[in-house]
Structure 1
């Protein structure tokens, strides 16, 4: 009978499975949600136990800056798992690309104490779901909506439902691109979002509106309606004219970023008008067919295409 081999100590001289729980908590908090879910939580039984049974570990869930690209929706199930593990103690939630109605409703069914909500490039998220989320999270103090597809009413909706709101970021990804045209005509002004903020967010301390279409009138309304405002970021808001009167109104602010200030330190890329139209031209240069081909009778049978059209049954 062969003698039993003695268990060899780890090469580094440390048994990682014996780390104390508070030490593991510190390690896991530095790793982030996805690393804990797919890696650290699978190292050994003791690590998995901490990953599964410590709600404090999941008070902050950040699902941004991932590298999944168009496959990001594979992160929805892991995100739900992280939400479940929070045990109703989730206070900060951030998601990029794959935040949709279902995910936010799932979130609201499992916590009602959110203090921070960050939504980046969540174009599948509807205004109704956003309104419902704001209503069900009355403790929200910080909201970031960057590169979304909401109407101008969303600012008023959020302001009404979140009376404790201290910080609001509502940014676009380009320089008022929706109103720009190649003939360099002035961009279309729109103060609806600004007026919604002024009307409802009276406790606001920090406001960021990169690429907004507000004018001096909208900015004046914000300054009067938000008496506690300390910091203001209106970079790329080219309808604002920082004349002497406007500078006097903004003098009480501790920090202000002006329309022409650099966005180099901004974490996202803000398209300039020139970049956008260059990209559009490059795209069409790569198209294999000519636009005129779209009218070729061999490609489209227009009688058949609209054969089912019946007056008001369709909206264009």
Structure 2
């Protein structure tokens, strides 16, 4: 068994802000790593999908597996997000044989590939894509998959990783798994949570995306009714609905004062301690009432 994250290969954290362009960056290394693992004898591959700097629908990964892409004149097309609309033919002649390999991809979102809740509209902006390009890029992605693998268009989670999830399903016969459910199963969460008095979840910034299957909500959904769940986060975005929501009773941001980002990050330990202390005092107070 091999486990890796696509973000280790083409993650947003590796690209400086001035160089972020999800249509010009490739996921080819993901496919090349899969080939290397299979040729090394690995038969079970688990891939964490998310945090990518790319928006290519996974065609770069497919190229790394051996697929080739051609335009209407039979000319080879470079496998980049910017070129999705140019592809008219896909060749699988040189692809690696994955028939003896199981590939599972785990993701913390359930967004479909296209549409207003899809890969481009929801995640494109944070990767450096101009909002004025959203409609065109989304349509190119939709047209490509409508022609070559229409079954993935409305598959929950297929929009993860700039469409990498869709690509892995279409070109590598992968199966999408909920990331948080996969992890909770590994640690026998359902049994262990039964003895809890309180469940605390956390996230850097909780926003509406967090309600689409990310870790805090995944934990809350698996927590039995009667056991309260609270969230402690770096910050809370204003697009969140009022709490309680998605099984979380209340959420607490740890930032105590307006400050520059560097200062806020440097004060994380103290801010966490202060917030935890206040929550603890509140719990003690509630027990005396």
TM-score, with normalisation over the residues of structure 2?
0.27
Would you tell me which structure has more strand in proportion to its own residues?
2
Larger CA Rg, structure 1 vs 2: 1
TM-score (norm 1): 0.25
